[in-house]
Amino acid sequence: MVNTAVTLSGLTLDNPVIPASGTFGFGYEFADWYDINVLGSISCKGTTKEPRFGNPTPRIAECSEGLINSVGLQNPGVDKVISDELPKLAKVYSKPIIANVSGFSIDEYAYTCARMDEQPQVGILEVNVSCPNVHNGGMSFGTSPESAAAVTKAVKAVTKKPVYIKLSPNVTDIVSIAKACEDAGADGISLINTLLGMRIDLKTRKPVIANKMGGFSGPAIFPVAVRMVYQVYEAVKIPIIGMGGVSSARDVIEMMLAGATAVQVGAANLIDPCACRKMINDLPEVMEQLGIENLTDIIGGSHNG
């Protein structure tokens, strides 16, 4: 009998598979498809202090082996998330969740994280300093060690629960940023968010999406994600949640070998709403095929020897 359980900052997950923020709504929307309690956890839709309509449409473009999105953190704001969305999720999901938070100033990050930290459902705060789809916020805080550390310190000062900083791959040196977050008190790192990409319509000769550029996700970015998780694992001592193009149980294993303790699944949910359930169901068989008894034994396994 194989053991799929993993532990993130004292929080035990039945398995390491977590739907990534922005690809799974607030979670309850998927309860019509299957019992979402099979999930290790859920990283809920990114939440900001104030409501956001998001970017103008069109804001989705298909690509080979992936897609580009520029949704722009559409959400009802932290007050409505707490009063409306989280109670709906609590009716269908009984495990601790990951609250994904973004902001347009350090004060906004701190305020929203403090509010979410008070919610009993929240087990981990995931601070998004990596969204490429908004102006003057998100990724602008994650492109330098200093700014990422400043957000980390501000959030840690007003929260009690574990804080994971979600990093952008759209940087020259992701390792130095991860290390700065660890030094500033981060309890964990989430990586990677989407790569910056665009498509051009051959007939109109203009960008396909209204924002011109957006976040590129899907299977094509998986090797980049594995590489960055591998590099960050060698530099920090805190847990890593790996993500970026994860599409199968074998991808989960590979990401964990690179150094991830848990794995988030993003674009695959937009292709198949049951993608996470399938990976969870496939995990034990894949583990048996590879001679793995406990998933925790393989975390960072590719660094040995």
Q: Which residues are catalytic?
A: 131
CA–CA separation, 196 vs 5, rounded Å? 33
DSSP single-letter state for residue 47: B
Local structure of residue 82 (DSSP, 8 states): I
Please, which residues have CB within 8 angstroms of residue 31's CB and are 6 or more apart in sequence?
92, 93
Instruction: Match 């103008």 to its residue by tokens.
Output: 56
Please give the span between the terminal C-alpha atoms of the chain, in angstroms, as a whole number. 28
Q: List, in order, residues 6 or more apart from 192 with CB less than 8 Å away.
A: 130, 167, 168, 169, 174, 221, 224, 225, 228, 229, 243, 244
| Residue 61, beta-bridge partner list | 68
**The length of the chain, given as a count of residues:** 305
User: CB-hemisphere CA count at 13 Å for 235?
Assistant: 19
The span from the CA of 99 to the CA of 106, in Å, is 17
Tokens 């202090």 locate to 49
Q: What CA–CA distance (Å, rounded) separates 181 from 7?
A: 20
Q: Which residue has the tokens 């956890």?
A: 41
Distance of CA 70 to the CA centre of its chain: 16
Phi, psi at 47, each rounded to 5°: -115, 135
Where b means 16+ CB within 10 Å and e means fewer, 67-86 reads bbbbbbbbbbebeebbeebb
